[in-house]
Every structure is written in structure tokens, then in C-alpha cells.
């Protein structure tokens, strides 16, 4: 018998509450299947089965308070006990020859703080033949999109409809798998596809995620001609978006007939995505919680731009990544945080937590909204390491492939509105952080330099900070320090 134990909840979390059991006593369970969800005052945690077998005991009911190490229940080990449950469903899956058992399609774990998601559009319908590892549906959470693939080859049965709210471990369908069904899968799969959709692109688009399908259909792209850079050889959103530019010349001809607006509604109501709802909620919480204030300065980018222009080719050849401005700003931010630790701290109740690590959040705009992946231990990275890290995080964000670990635990955030042409803005804090730096567009402006008017590439900088923990003097000093390090990059090298 294997005990189900309450895991460690985090260094500052002493207890949790039982939110929900996904199984009841007597149910067959599989190793690592989610059995119970715990809620703390910070995050939600999932506890999985320690072994294959039968859930033989539940010691703590929903709503009970537990501490790390508490025995929540027990699993009686044994593979034989788990087998009969799926077998009962086999007769219903008549299309699967040779009496193959149905293999459940379960919602995967979506991160320790994600308790539920929404079913996107199923790429197949009940009764369709599917291949093993074929993409079936995308589940959208408030942070990331999770792809669910077929666990086996066979005939699909769907039990959770498009748009349904689901939780980790929940069964959303099944595949009636057998040796005969798997062998026959390739032949039937090709034939029904054209009949089901009247589109010539259906066979190619059947393997696209819903997000990619939207980009493809809205821009009249041919999936068969798109490059595939995904981890499983699949087409990602970034691949589809990159192809839009190549198809742009043909766009005006297709758009011309759509000029009349008579058939278009004056208004359209669209439900917010979970990610957009979360962005809205967190931004409002940030405004309501922190005493936010913004201070501004401007930086002459002449020396950084000259240094970048001088070494960008050899830098890219040596390190395999382009030399951008973000690495210079990240280095300057880390050094300024060393000197003004309050900007790298956060408030927890009546305590101030000073961080001795420098995990910098880099705001990235995606087609679904703004996300802030975290560059870990930025103080230990070279300029090349920073550029490689930011490039990898940006690609993962645009592909919808960010993990929960990559989006949590930042100590300070940098956002660059200049990529969209912003001249000046007041960024909102990414709580519980106490500071965020806003970069902006570089504009050639006349400046007084040693008594003479010179045209210089200037950028406005904005630091929003939590006035509860950061004083005005500290905030201004922090921003001036960044200005000094950028206007004279040798200071960072010499630690001046």
C-alpha cells in the first residue's frame, strides 16, 4: 500500500486546504494521475497517485486543512485492479476490432497554480480515426495553451465539448485502440477528411492547433507550404505569422471585394480568453494594491548604438545570436538593483523580502496578450547569454510553449514599448514586484552638448515603483544609475 502525502507547500506556506478529489474510494488509478487538488493562500497544488492500483482510502475530505507530510489517503498497489475498469468500456467501442480497450484522453497537468482550463476546438470528431500522438485539441488556461495528443491509434470518442471547463486529470475523451484499429488507421484517416470539411486544405490543417488554424484561415495561407519548426515537427503560430509577410502582396486583391459593410454587424460581442481575463484582473489588482508612482528620465543612446554597430557582426558570428539593446539594459538594471536593493524587494504582509537573486521578467507581446517570462540569474549571464535567453523566451512565448516555471518568480520587470513606436508611457507594476522599467522609442532630437546643439538618438525611460517600499530618492537614483551605465557602457565593465 502506498500513502498519498501532502507535498511541501513552499518556504512561506504552512498549510493548505483540500479543494477537490478527482477520484473516489474504489476507483482504479494510474501512477502520476492527479488525485487531489490543494489550495494555499498563494498557489494551487496537485497531488498525484504514487503507484498504479486502486484508491483504497481517503483520510482528508474536501475543505479540510492539511500540513506538509499529512497522509491524505492510500493506493493499494496492483496492476490487475486497474485493468477491469477500462475493459468495461470496450464493447461500446465497436469500431475497434479485436476487442481493444479504450484508452482515456486526460487533461494534462497545467502548472501548480492553474486549476482549470477551457477546451478549444476539437480537430477531430467522435468516430474519426486518429493516429498515435496526433494533435486532437488545445486546452486554454489563463497563462498558457496546452496541446493534447492522441494516446494511441484508434477511433476517437469525445466526452467534453468545445468550450467546456476542465480540470487536470479529467477525462475528456477516449481512443478505442487495438492492433487491428491501429493498422487500419492510415487508410480511413485520409478518406473521410475531405468529406467532413469541404476545404482543399483540410488534410494539412487537421494537424494544426486551433491558434495556428486561425492565423492560417484569416490570412488565406496554405498549410502545406508552411515551414514546421515545432518540437514534434508541427507548424507553430510563429511559423504561420512569419509566412504572412511572404503572402502579403496577394492580400490587396483578396481584400478588395470585402469593401461593402452592409453585411457586417455594427457591434460584436466576443468572450475574453482566459489569458486576457487574467491580464485584466492582475493589472487591476496591481493598481488597487500598490502605491504606484512613475519617475522619468532620458538617455543618450549614442555610445551604446556605436558599440553595437562596431561589434554586431563579429558578435553574431562568435555567439550565434544578434546583439540587441535588451542585453545592455538588463546588465544596467542588474547593477542598479545591486546598489538600490529596495527596487528588487517585495512586500509580504508586514514584512519586506529582499531578494539576493536577479530574475528579470521580460514583457513579450503575443497574439493572445502580454506575457512576462523570466530570465533567471541575469547577474551571472554575459551579454551573449542574456540575448540567447531572451530570444528563447520570446520564441516560446509566441509559440505558446512557455512553462509555468518560466513565468513565475521574477524580481523586476523590463518592458519595451519602443518596439511598437511608443514615445513615453507609465508601465504598471507586475505584482508583487516593486519596480518595472519602461523602454521607449529611440528618436533623433536636438540636445545641448557642451554648449552646442547636437542631434542625438534619445530614449525616454520610465520607472514605475511601489512607493510603499521604494522612496522617491531611491527611485530617481536607480533610474539615473541606469542612464549613466547606458551613456557610458565602460562603467559596467569597470564596475564604476
With 60 as the cut, is the pLDDT of residue 197 above it? no
Q: Which pLDDT score is estimated for 336?
A: 95
Q: Highest mean pLDDT range out of 86-95, 110-119, 193-202?
A: 110-119
Up-side HSE of residue 390: CA atoms within 13 Å toward CB?
Answer: 28
Instruction: Tell me the backbone φ, ψ of residue 90, rounded to 5 degrees.
Output: -60, -40
Query: Which of the given ranges, 157-171, 194-208, 452-466, has the highest pLDDT on average?
Result: 452-466
Looking at mean pLDDT, say which of 23-37, 48-62, 275-289, 450-464 comes out highest: 450-464
Q: What is the pLDDT of residue 283?
A: 81
Question: What mean pLDDT do residues 247-275 have?
Answer: 63
- Residue 32, pLDDT > 80, answer yes
State the first-to-last Cα distance of the chain, in angstroms, to the nearest integer.
Answer: 62
Residue 366 pLDDT grade (very low, low, confident, very high; cuts 50, 70, 90): confident
Range in 49-58, 138-147, 415-424, 428-437 the model is least confident about = 138-147
All three cell numbers of 466: 511601489
If pLDDT is split at 50, 70 and 90, which confidence band does 259 have?
low
Comparing 413 with 265, the larger pLDDT belongs to: 413
pLDDT mean over 294-303 = 95
Which of the four pLDDT bands, split at 50, 70 and 90, describes residue 464? very high
* Distance (Å) of CA 479 to CA 329, 336, 442, 485: 11, 8, 17, 10
* Mean pLDDT computed over 433-456: 94
Starting at the earlier edge strand, list the strands of the sheet with 154-158.
102-106, 171-176, 154-158, 129-130
With a CB cutoff of 8 Å and minimum separation 6, the contacts of 212 are 235, 236, 237, 239, 240
Most confident range (mean pLDDT) of 55-64, 94-103, 137-146 is 55-64
CA distance 430 to 285: 10
Q: Is 338 a catalytic residue?
A: no
CATH topology of domain 205-249: Dihydrolipoamide Transferase (4.10.320)
**Domain spans in the chain, listed from the N-terminal domain onward:** 1-82, 86-190, 205-249, 275-494
Q: Taking CA 308 as the corner, what is the angle to CA 304 and CA 311, rounded to the nearest 5 degrees?
A: 140
Please give the grid coordinates belonging to residue 156: 476517437
Q: Which of 32, 64, 377, 467 is catalytic?
A: 467
Query: What whole-number percentage of the chain has pLDDT above 90?
Result: 31
Q: Is the pLDDT of residue 201 over 70?
A: no
Same CATH fold, 86-190 and 1-82? yes
Contact assessment for residue 123 and residue 109, using Cβ atoms and an 8 Å cutoff: no
User: Cβ(227)–Cβ(236) under 8 Å?
Assistant: no
* pLDDT value at residue 274: 72
**Catalytic pick among 32, 377, 405, 471:** 471
Give the separation between CA 371 and CA 391, rounded to whole angstroms. 14
Which residue reads 492527479 in cell numbers?
Answer: 34
Does the domain at residues 1-82 carry the CATH identifier 2.40.50.140?
no
Does 93 score more than 50 pLDDT?
no
Topology at the third CATH level for domain 86-190:
OB fold (Dihydrolipoamide Acetyltransferase, E2P) (2.40.50)
Using one digit for the tens of pLDDT, what is the confidence trace for 411-421? 999 999 888 88
| Residue 473 neighbours by CB under 8 Å, 6+ apart | none
Comparing 252-261, 272-281, 293-302, 440-449, which segment has the lowest mean pLDDT?
252-261
Concatenated DSSP letters of 13-57: ---EEEEEESS-TT-EE-TT-EEEEEE-SS-EEEEE-SSSEEEEE
Q: Is 300 a catalytic residue?
A: no
Nearest to 252 by CA among 215, 220, 211, 214: 220
| CATH class for the domain made up of 275-494 | alpha beta
Among 80-94, 97-111, 271-285, 461-475, the range of highest mean pLDDT: 461-475
Q: Residue 114's pLDDT is what?
A: 66
Residue 83 near residue 112 (C-beta atoms within 8 A): no
The pLDDT of residue 110 is 67
pLDDT in tens, 152-187: 888 888 988 887 888 888 889 888 865 433 343 343
Is residue 143 left, alpha or beta, with left meaning phi > 0 and alpha meaning psi from -120 to 50? alpha
For residue 83, give the DSSP letter. S
Residue 350: pLDDT over 80: yes
The answer to whether residue 495 scores a pLDDT higher than 70 is: no
pLDDT of amino acid 352:
92
Closest C-alpha to 72, from 150, 18, 116: 18
Are 53 and 81 in contact, with CB atoms under 8 Å apart?
A: yes
Lowest mean pLDDT among 177-181, 199-203, 219-223, 224-228: 199-203
Amino acid at each position: 500500500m502506498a500513502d498519498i502525502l501532502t507535498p511541501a507547500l513552499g518556504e512561506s506556506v504552512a498549510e493548505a486546504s483540500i479543494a477537490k478529489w478527482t477520484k473516489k474510494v474504489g476507483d482504479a488509478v494510474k501512477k502520476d494521475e492527479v488525485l487531489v487538488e490543494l489550495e494555499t493562500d498563494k498557489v494551487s497544488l496537485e497531488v498525484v497517485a504514487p503507484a498504479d492500483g486502486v484508491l483504497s482510502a481517503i483520510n482528508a475530505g474536501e475543505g479540510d486543512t492539511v500540513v506538509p507530510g499529512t497522509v491524505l489517503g492510500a493506493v493499494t498497489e496492483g496492476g490487475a485492479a486497474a485493468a477491469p475498469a477500462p475493459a468495461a468500456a470496450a464493447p461500446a467501442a465497436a469500431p475497434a476490432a479485436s476487442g481493444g480497450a479504450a484508452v482515456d484522453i486526460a487533461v494534462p497537468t497545467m502548472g501548480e497554480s492553474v486549476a482549470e482550463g477551457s477546451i478549444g476546438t476539437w480537430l477531430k470528431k467522435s468516430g474519426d480515426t486518429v493516429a498515435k500522438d496526433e494533435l486532437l485539441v488545445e486546452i486554454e488556461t489563463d497563462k498558457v495553451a496546452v496541446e493534447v495528443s492522441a494516446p494511441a491509434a484508434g477511433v476517437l470518442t469525445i466526452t467534453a465539448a468545445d468550450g467546456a471547463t476542465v480540470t487536470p486529470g479529467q477525462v475528456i475523451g477516449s481512443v478505442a485502440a487495438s492492433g487491428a484499429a491501429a493498422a487500419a488507421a492510415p487508410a480511413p484517416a485520409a478518406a473521410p477528411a475531405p468529406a467532413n470539411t469541404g476545404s482543399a486544405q483540410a488534410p494539412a490543417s487537421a494537424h494544426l492547433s486551433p491558434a495556428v488554424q486561425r492565423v492560417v484561415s484569416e490570412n488565406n495561407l496554405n498549410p502545406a507550404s508552411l515551414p514546421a519548426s515545432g518540437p514534434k515537427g508541427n507548424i507553430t503560430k510563429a511559423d504561420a505569422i512569419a509566412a504572412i509577410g511572404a503572402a502579403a502582396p496577394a492580400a490587396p486583391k483578396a481584400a478588395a471585394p470585402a469593401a461593402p459593410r452592409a453585411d457586417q454587424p455594427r457591434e460584436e460581442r466576443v468572450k475574453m480568453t482566459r489569458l486576457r481575463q487574467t491580464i485584466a484582473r492582475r493589472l487591476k489588482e496591481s493598481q488597487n494594491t500598490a502605491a504606484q508612482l512613475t519617475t522619468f528620465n532620458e538617455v543618450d543612446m549614442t555610445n551604446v548604438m556605436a558599440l553595437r554597430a562596431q561589434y554586431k557582426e563579429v558578435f553574431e558570428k562568435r555567439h550565434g545570436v544578434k546583439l540587441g539593446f535588451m542585453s545592455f539594459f538588463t546588465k544596467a538594471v542588474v547593477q542598479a538593483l545591486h546598489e538600490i536593493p529596495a527596487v528588487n524587494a517585495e512586500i509580504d504582509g508586514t514584512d519586506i523580502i529582499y531578494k539576493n537573486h536577479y530574475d528579470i521578467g521580460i514583457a513579450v507581446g503575443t497574439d493572445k496578450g502580454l506575457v512576462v517570462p523570466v530570465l533567471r540569474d541575469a547577474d551571472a549571464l554575459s551579454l551573449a547569454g542574456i540575448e540567447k535567453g531572451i530570444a528563447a523566451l520570446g520564441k516560446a512565448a509566441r509559440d505558446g510553449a512557455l512553462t509555468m516555471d518560466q513565468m513565475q518568480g521574477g524580481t523586476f520587470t523590463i518592458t519595451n514599448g519602443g518596439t511598437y513606436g511608443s514615445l513615453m508611457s507609465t508601465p504598471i507594476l507586475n505584482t508583487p514586484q516593486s519596480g518595472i522599467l519602461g523602454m521607449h522609442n529611440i528618436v533623433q532630437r536636438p540636445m545641448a552638448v557642451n554648449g552646442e546643439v547636437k542631434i542625438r538618438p534619445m530614449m525616454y525611460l520610465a520607472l514605475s515603483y511601489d512607493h510603499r517600499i521604494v522612496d522617491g530618492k531611491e527611485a530617481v537614483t536607480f533610474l539615473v544609475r541606469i542612464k549613466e551605465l547606458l551613456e557610458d557602457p565602460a562603467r559596467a565593465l569597470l564596475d564604476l
